[in-house]
Amino acid sequence: MAVKVGMVSLGCSKNQVDAEIMLSLIQEEGFELCADAEQCDVVIINTCGFIEDAKRESIENILEFCALKESGEVKVVAVTGCLAERYQQEVAQEIPEADVVLGIGCNQQVVQAIKKALAGEKVVQFADKDLLPLDGGRVLTNQPFFAYVKVADGCDNRCSYCAIPNIRGHFRSRTMESILDEVKRFAKAGVKEINLVAQDTTRYGEDRYGKLMLPELIRQVCAVPEIQWVRVLYCYPDRVTDELLEVMASEPKFVKYMDIPIQHASGRILKAMNRRGDRRSLTALMEKIRQKVPGMILRTTLITGFPGETQEDFAELCDFVKEVRFERLGCFTYSAEDNTPAVDMPNQVEESVKRNRADAIMTEQMGIAQAFNESCVGKVFAVLTEGYDTAGKCWYGRSYMDAPDIDTRVYFTSDATLRPGDFVQVKITGTEGYDLTGQQVKEA
């Protein structure tokens, strides 16, 4: 009987891509992949180690499966991903129940590590981060009609609050040929939506080709016939060029959606974060994007409570949010991360103040989002069907305005028999919180 292997992958879409490459290696070796990790012989927890909440979730998952191992329900517990890479010896020593601890540079050795662990050997292995495989086979763990494609890994921006350069290493792009080969494989397998991701997607190609190549990459991906939607996530504001905006405006398959995590609007705080710009330059950028790409949906993320953030800095951030009116916005409290410059900065902000400020931003954003949703009523959007809601007795899916997993949904009725992955035209008839409601209409 084949050994069953399950994976719990935590954190971001980039970590998910790493998990899917490992699952492909495991499947190729003849192991049986099982969606229910609790029913498996081997469980891999592909951890996130970005901020405190993510670390806590990772540790809770590791301990949960170690308990299942103690009771005999699981044979091997393996720990991979960012937490394992960031806290190498700590994970190995403080969680001795884990049979395998692999750094990201050893993901290629996951099969050998599993075999050794099944034979009773403990495996603790780390290597250069550059050895992390950026391409290879993939086993999609999300619905089969969309895929994340990682165009680069690592980061050289060195924001003072961020541990990613310590965890993932320096920025390194894949070859365009490798990316396009992967997109074409997905297209032949029925994938309709490609989401291009990296820690800093806009920097793609600079290290490898000597110039920013995201515009050309978007053109090439859009040229793959079977692909219908192309989306880009995690754009750094400094590298949003006119050429990039021209491509986004002119390519029909590019969904008019841009994720630009800006973190703050106060020039003083941005400087302390080791980021450039201020409220004025960021406002001008958002105006320029909307002017050059009509219909563009802007998503951003913000941080409240960064060390030294005063009430005046926070008020400036609030005014910026009210002025720009992002269609999609998330806000997080500052998390003090080991071995980052911000940890040692003076004037650390109290947790309650951080939380209250984040709540105030999200309260303001709720009103902005609801007003935007109301402006959508009466309009018709293409919606990518994701499933059927048995309780609501309606279908649900995403418009171009919504990225997978992080944004809102469109709930709609239809007389047709639909399948997940179908594109339908939906007329918006109402709103429900952050979501839209509507009914399918016949295409003109």
The string of pLDDT tens digits covering residues 13-35 is: 999 999 999 999 999 999 999 98
Q: Do residues 154 and 276 share a domain?
A: yes
Residue 280 pLDDT: 98
Q: Does residue 283 form part of some domain? A: yes
Q: Do residues 120 and 207 share a domain?
A: no
Q: Do residues 370 and 385 share a domain?
A: no
- Amino acid in the structure at residue 299: R
405: domain CATH number? 2.40.50.140
Does the pLDDT at position 299 exceed 70?
yes
Residue 133 pLDDT: 93
52: domain CATH number? 3.40.50.12160
Burial grade of 132 (CB within 10 A; 0-12, 13-18, 19 or more): buried
Share the mean pLDDT of the chain: 96
Q: Does residue 78 form part of some domain? A: yes
> What average pLDDT score do residues 204-228 get?
98
Q: Do residues 121 and 209 share a domain?
A: no
Of 351, 375, 399, which residue sits at a domain end? 375
Residue pointed to by tokens 């028999």: 417
Residue 436 pLDDT: 98
Q: Does residue 110 form part of some domain? A: yes
Does the pLDDT at position 443 exceed 80?
no
For the entire predicted model, the pTM comes to 0.96
- Nearest residue to 327 via CA among 251, 407, 431: 407
Yes or no: say if 431 and 370 are a contact pair by the CB < 8 Å rule: yes
Q: How confident is the model at residue 444 (pLDDT cuts 50, 70, 90)?
A: low
Q: How confident is the model at residue 369 (pLDDT cuts 50, 70, 90)?
A: very high
Of 76, 101, 131, which residue sits at a domain end? 131
Q: Do residues 348 and 427 share a domain?
A: no
> What average pLDDT score do residues 84-104 get?
93
275: domain CATH number? 3.80.30.20
Q: Does residue 258 form part of some domain? A: yes
Distances (CA, A) of 54 to 50, 198, 232: 6, 19, 24
Q: Do residues 225 and 239 share a domain?
A: yes
Q: Do residues 310 and 338 share a domain?
A: yes
Q: Do residues 158 and 234 share a domain?
A: yes
User: Per-residue DSSP letters for 415-439?
Assistant: SS---TT-EEEEEEEEEETTEEEEE
> Residue 436 belongs to what domain range?
380-441
Q: Does residue 210 form part of some domain? A: yes
SS3 at position 49:
coil
Of 337, 353, 375, which residue sits at a domain end? 375
Q: Do residues 411 and 286 share a domain?
A: no
The total number of structural domains that make up the chain: 3
What are the φ and ψ backbone dihedral angles of 355, each rounded to 5 degrees? Answer: -65, -45
Residue 132 pLDDT: 96
Residue 54 pLDDT: 85
Residue 442 pLDDT: 87
Q: Does residue 140 form part of some domain? A: no
How far is Cα 330 from Cα 317, in angstroms, rounded to an integer?
A: 13
Instruction: Give residues with Cβ within 8 angstroms of 108, minimum separation 6.
Output: 25, 131, 133
Q: Do residues 60 and 190 share a domain?
A: no
Yes or no: say if 224 and 183 are a contact pair by the CB < 8 Å rule: yes
Q: Do residues 199 and 347 share a domain?
A: yes
Residue 51 pLDDT: 80
Q: Do residues 63 and 157 share a domain?
A: no
Residue 37 pLDDT: 86
Yes or no: say if 299 and 259 are a contact pair by the CB < 8 Å rule: yes
Q: Does residue 141 form part of some domain? A: no
Yes or no: say if 85 and 106 are a contact pair by the CB < 8 Å rule: no
Q: How confident is the model at residue 38 (pLDDT cuts 50, 70, 90)?
A: confident
Does the pLDDT at position 376 exceed 90?
yes
Q: Does residue 74 form part of some domain? A: yes
The string of pLDDT tens digits covering residues 321-360 is: 999 999 999 999 999 999 999 999 999 999 999 999 999 9
